Amino acid sequence: MTPDLGWALKTFGVEPVRENRFPLMRAVRFERTEAFSEAVGRDGHKGIALSINVDSGGMCLLMDVAPQRQEVLRVHVPMPATLAMTPTLAEVCWKQPVPLGREGLYFVGLKFVL
């Protein structure tokens, strides 16, 4: 019997899983910009997440913080063809706790805004 993980395999929040996303597992630096976020404290300003997948419109990250929906993050997107990272702004569209018994990890869906 398959355990109930408490989440739908087809969707996260309101955004359906996109078929045109490509797997990309790399470290992604992010900054919670104080200009756009009221919830940012000194400890939560910068961090590193793990990219899960990416497409031209956004990406999914595995994070150890839970940003608020519509929060704007500055992410440094890894480029697969080079060692460079491209900084861009991204809006949090959804977040979902990882349902594997480990608290404090979240899947976070981002939409690129710049």
pLDDT in tens, 25-69: 999 999 987 654 455 454 457 999 999 998 989 999 999 999 999
Residue 94 CA to residue 91 CA, distance in Å, equals: 9
Q: Domain for residue 17, yes or no?
A: no
Greater pLDDT, 58 or 15: 58
Q: Domain for residue 73, yes or no?
A: yes
Q: Domain for residue 64, yes or no?
A: yes
Structural domain of residue 85, as residue ranges? 34-112
pTM of the model: 0.73
Q: At residue 86, what is the residue type?
A: T
Q: Domain for residue 29, yes or no?
A: no
If one counts the domains in the chain, the total is 1
Q: Domain for residue 7, yes or no?
A: no
C-alpha distances (whole Å) from 81 to each of 61, 84, 85 are 20, 9, 10
